[in-house]
Structure 1
Amino acid sequence: MSNNNIVIREIALEDNKQIAKVIRDVLVEFGVPKVGTAYADVSLDKMAETYYGGKSVYFVIDNNGKIIGGAGIAALDNYEGNVCELQKMYFLPEARGIGLGKRMMETCLESAKAFGFEKCYLETMPYMDDARKLYAKVGFNSLDEPLGNTGHYSCNVWMIKEL
């Protein structure tokens, strides 16, 4: 796939249905539990509203009107400190392996810095190897335990990066 028609942009209301399907499809593809992960988040069907205003933003990957991935930044839930969380970064197979993960990470981390966050935290699954490699490549380090309380108790890999 060529990157020529692909745009990373902020989510719009009309993207809600497509991005919810992308996220659920990827989670099912990887055999992720439907409880204790993003799959069960009530915000999944109203992402544009969830990330509107404040120190949060969600970006989608738009390929000629088809949403093929996304990721967002928001303050880490139930945590005292100036830490954001990289949230709901999921790509359909056609968006993988062509540099979009790196571009999305740069876009999200630039926003986190602009919001004034000092660190960025994330949670993932141990078998999401390509994602974990990307996170490490951009400077995320492993943690021994989770920060805050995101409600994603099935995600047992925790990472953090200084911004």
Structure 2
Amino acid sequence: MSSYVIREIKPEDNEQVKDLIRNVLVEMGVPKVGTAYEDAALEDMHAEYNAPNKEYFVVEDKDRIIGGAGIAPLANFEGAICELQKMYFLPEVRGKGVGAQMMTTCLEFAKEQGFQKCYIETLPYMKQAQKLYLRSGFESLEKPLGDTGHYNCTVWLIKDL
């Protein structure tokens, strides 16, 4: 990851992050409803994650956002469980260890916030993402936790922190 930097999102990153997420979702053939594509948070990711127990990290390469992921309390759930959210990378950076490094950054933040478990929702055909999650120690769940509104995401995973 020589020229890449993982850092917290800044207000000026909002447009690049929104475009990156939507472009990756379109590339993957993800439905535009019932997924992150339609999340209102995409309009101002900095504001969305500028709150207690939340953070969105971006991967920057020479002033260009090439990936990102966030941690936030799991929506509509009581307990010390966070959710890994909106983890997407441009094709050029996939398979180069950046996802693993981002995962470490996010999970360290989650532990620092006092979360005990981390939850992820994804789509069945996002196989590369699932490989990363499983390598990182996530395990499959039979049903979703909380209510994220992403009803098209039918793969649910959890990890003890």
TM-score for both structures, normalised by structure 2: 0.99
SS in structure 2 of the partner of residue 147 of structure 1: coil
Match of 2:63 among 42, 62, 65: 65
- Aligned equivalents of 1:94, 1:148: Cα separation in 2: 33
Alignment of 1:5-154 (within 5 A): 5-154=3-152
- Aligned equivalents of 1:9, 1:64: Cα separation in 2: 13
Letter of the 2:45 partner, please give it: M
Instruction: Tell me the CA shift for residue 67 of structure 1.
Output: 0.3
- Aligned equivalents of 1:94, 1:62: Cα separation in 2: 13
Instruction: Tell me the CA shift for residue 154 of structure 1.
Output: 0.5
- Aligned equivalents of 1:162, 1:153: Cα separation in 2: 24
**Which 5+ residue runs of structure 1 have no aligned equivalent?**
none
- Aligned equivalents of 2:81, 2:2: Cα separation in 1: 34
- Aligned equivalents of 1:17, 1:114: Cα separation in 2: 28
Instruction: Tell me the CA shift for residue 36 of structure 1.
Output: 0.2
Instruction: Tell me the CA shift for residue 45 of structure 1.
Output: 1.5
- Aligned equivalents of 1:60, 1:66: Cα separation in 2: 10
- Aligned equivalents of 2:95, 2:75: Cα separation in 1: 31
TM-superposition CA deviations, 1:135-159 (whole Å, max 9, x none): 0001000000000000000000000
SS in structure 2 of the partner of residue 46 of structure 1: helix
TM-superposition CA deviations, 1:90-127 (whole Å, max 9, x none): 00001101100000000000000000000000000010
**Which 5+ residue runs of structure 2 have no aligned equivalent?**
none
Instruction: Tell me the CA shift for residue 53 of structure 1.
Output: 2.5
Letter of the 2:68 partner, please give it: G
SS in structure 2 of the partner of residue 155 of structure 1: coil
Instruction: Tell me the CA shift for residue 83 of structure 1.
Output: 0.3
4+ long deviations beyond 3 Å? none
